[in-house]
C-alpha cells in the first residue's frame, strides 16, 4: 500500500478520534455544568428567566399543587383498578364497566382542569411574555398528547369518523 495513502488515512482516523473524544468530554461537561438535579424548578428558572422573587412565588404555587396532583393520581389509579376488576370476569363491556369508564373520564377531566388552573397561576407569577410562553408550552405538552393520538387515529385508514 502506498505510504502517502497510509499517512493520510491514519491522519483522518486520528482526527476523527480527537474530535470524538473532545465531543464526548465537552458533552459530559455541558451536562454536569447545566444540570441541577437538586432543584425541580431549575428548568423554569433558566427557560423563563425568572428572578428570585418570581421563582419564590412559583415555588410556593408548585408546592401547594403537588399534594392535589398526588391525590388525583391516587383517584385515577383506583378508578383504573375498578375498571380492570369489572372487565376481568367477562368478554363484554358490562354496564358497570362502562360506568367506571365514565367515572375515570370525569376524574381525568377534573385533573386536567386542576392542572390547567395551576399552569395559569404559575404563568401569572411570571413576566407577561414569559408567562404566555410557559402556558403555551405546558398546554402543548399536557393536552397535545391527546391531540396527537386523536390525529393519528383519524389519519389511519378505517378511522375516518364522521366523514361520510
Partner 1 sequence: MKISAALKPIKENMNPDDTKLSTLLHQGRVSPPLPPRFQENVWRRIDANAVPAKCDSWLDALAALVLRPRFAYATVTALVLAGALLGAHQGAQLAKQDAQARYVAMVAPNALR
Binding site for partner 1 (CB under 8 A): 2-5, 7-8, 11, 15, 18-37, 40-44, 46-47, 62, 65-66, 69, 72-73, 76-77, 108, 111-112, 115, 118-119, 138, 141-143, 145-146
Give the containing element (helix H, strand E) for 83.
helix 52-88
* Closer of 126 and 138 to partner 1 (Cβ): 138
Q: Which three cell numbers stand for residue 126?
A: 411570571
Closest distance to partner 1 from the beta carbon of 152 (Å): 16
Q: Which three cell numbers stand for residue 88?
A: 376481568
Q: Using the 8-state DSSP alphabet, how is residue 40 labeled? A: T
Q: Which three cell numbers stand for residue 129?
A: 411574555
Closest distance to partner 1 from the beta carbon of 154 (Å): 19
Neighbours of 50 (CB within 10 A): 21
Q: Which three cell numbers stand for residue 75?
A: 383517584
Amino acid at each position: 500500500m502506498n505510504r502517502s495513502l497510509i499517512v493520510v488515512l491514519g491522519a483522518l482516523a486520528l482526527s476523527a478520534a480527537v474530535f470524538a473524544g473532545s465531543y464526548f468530554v465537552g458533552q459530559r461537561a455541558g451536562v454536569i455544568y447545566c444540570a441541577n438535579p437538586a432543584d425541580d424548578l431549575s428548568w423554569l428558572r433558566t427557560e423563563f428567566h425568572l428572578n428570585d422573587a418570581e421563582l419564590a412565588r412559583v415555588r410556593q404555587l408548585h408546592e401547594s399543587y403537588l399534594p392535589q396532583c398526588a391525590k388525583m393520581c391516587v383517584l385515577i389509579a383506583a378508578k383504573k383498578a375498578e375498571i380492570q376488576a369489572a372487565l376481568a370476569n367477562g368478554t363484554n363491556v358490562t354496564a358497570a364497566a362502562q360506568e367506571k369508564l365514565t367515572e375515570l373520564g370525569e376524574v381525568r377531566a377534573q385533573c386536567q382542569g386542576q392542572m390547567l388552573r395551576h399552569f395559569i397561576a404559575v404563568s401569572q407569577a411570571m413576566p407577561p411574555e414569559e408567562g404566555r410562553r410557559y402556558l403555551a408550552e405546558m398546554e402543548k405538552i399536557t393536552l397535545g398528547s391527546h391531540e396527537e393520538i386523536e390525529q393519528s387515529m383519524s389519519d389511519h385508514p378505517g378511522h375516518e369518523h364522521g366523514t361520510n
